[in-house]
A = this chain, B = another copy of it.
Amino acid sequence: MATHHFTPKVYYTAIGAHEPVLHIESGDTVLTTTVDNAGYDATDTQITERGNPQTGPFYIQSAEPGDTLAVHFDRIVPNRSIGRTSMTVAPNVLDPDYAASEMPEGGRGLAEWHVDVEKWTATLMTPETQLGELTLPLEPMVGCFGVAPPRGQAISTATSSTHGGNMDYRGFQEGVTVYFPVFVSGALFHLGDGHAVQGDGEIVGTGIEISFDVQFTVEVRKGKSINWPRAENSDYILTAGNARPLDQAVQHATTELLRWLDELGLEKRAAHTLLGQTVEYDMGNVFDPAYTMVCKIKKSILRDIGIM
């Protein structure tokens, strides 16, 4: 149950079996930092190449293929006051005819936002638009994180799959516990791409991109095997499917939630009947090569039927 203060010196833009930056034990806590999507740190200095550079990988002792790694986000806080967003909705989320004729002029410039962790707000500063000094409440979340994938792969932080990756789901915020399948010894946990605020889908290709102070705690569930990232917060258990089209992400997430209910002891027919009237879906990233859909059910319902 040690606590590690870790200062990253190297960043990766693919999630894979890189040399671990730190070895930790199940139960340990890590305090570290992440740079933003473009490699800028807490001083807003670019210290590594752009593309969701990741802090890590962290090697978790005892994690072996077939286990599950639980990662609890204890604390996620922006560590600088400037954040940036794209100003253009991605053509792939617009009607093709509309995208071919109605895109805003002026290219893909960036807007700058003032992030105030005291007031817990982000305020649009430049450029000048009809939005004025639009101010939004902070909702910090980690856009891209996960474990080394199977089969010797290293997967770009531009996308996502069974190992996690660039899911950009607003629910991956402080207080959530995320579960990953372990594919390699040590699991090799990576994280980065912090957003101070983000709309559903990350449809402009960015949240309010910012560097973070992060604290997380890991735990290895030995011999517990899952197929897709799972998570829970105080109200829900949830599963994330990553694929294109979104229909397939729905298939992965729904199937994984049925598997979870099965593990909780719920017979299939009951599980299907239950999900039919109580399931909820949230949409994660629809900008990247793989899209993300989250399937979830309220814990209170699972308690009502006595399986949680």
Q: Which residues of B contact A293 (CB under 8 A)?
A: 283
Q: Which residues of B contact A275 (CB under 8 A)?
A: 89, 199, 203-204
Write the nearest CB–CB distance from A18 to chain B, whole angstroms: 9
Which candidate, A36-44, A185-193, A263-271, is the interface stretch facing chain B? Answer: A263-271
How far apart are the CA atoms of A286 and B295 in the complex, in Å? 13
CB-CB nearest in chain B for A305: B131
A244-B243, A266-B130, A272-B204 given; A153·B151 CB < 8 A = no
How far apart are the CA atoms of A307 and B129 in the complex, in Å? 13
A91-B96, A91-B97, A152-B16 given; A102·B204 CB < 8 A = no
How far apart are the CA atoms of A305 and B133 in the complex, in Å? 9
Write the nearest CB–CB distance from A103 to chain B, whole angstroms: 5
Residue among A98, A122, A278, A286 having the largest count of chain B Cβ atoms under 10 Å: A98
CB-CB nearest in chain B for A16: B154
- Judge if A13 is at the interface, Cβ distance under 8 Å: yes
Q: CB distance A254 to B305 under 8 Å?
A: no
Q: CB distance A201 to B277 under 8 Å?
A: no
CB-CB nearest in chain B for A195: B277
CB within 8 Å of B: which of A115-145? 122, 124, 129-132, 134-136
Q: CB distance A254 to B99 under 8 Å?
A: no
Q: CB distance B199 to A273 under 8 Å?
A: no
Write the nearest CB–CB distance from A178 to chain B, whole angstroms: 21
Interface string of A94-111 (1 = CB under 8 A from B): 111111111111100001
A95-B252, A245-B247 given; A268·B154 CB < 8 A = no
A273: contacting residue among B96, B111, B155, CB under 8 A: B111
- Judge if A279 is at the interface, Cβ distance under 8 Å: yes
Question: How often does this chain occur in the complex, in copies?
Answer: 4
Q: CB distance A269 to B87 under 8 Å?
A: yes
- Judge if A207 is at the interface, Cβ distance under 8 Å: yes
Q: CB distance A94 to B200 under 8 Å?
A: no
Q: List 22 A-B contacts (CB under 8 A).
A: A14-B151, A85-B276, A87-B269, A91-B99, A91-B100, A93-B251, A95-B251, A95-B255, A96-B99, A104-B267, A122-B277, A136-B301, A151-B158, A153-B153, A199-B277, A200-B281, A204-B275, A246-B246, A246-B247, A247-B247, A281-B283, A283-B293
Q: Name 18 extra pairs, CB < 8 A, besides A90-B96, A132-B305.
A: A14-B152, A51-B151, A87-B269, A87-B276, A91-B99, A91-B100, A92-B96, A96-B99, A99-B100, A100-B100, A100-B103, A130-B265, A134-B301, A198-B277, A199-B277, A204-B275, A245-B246, A281-B283
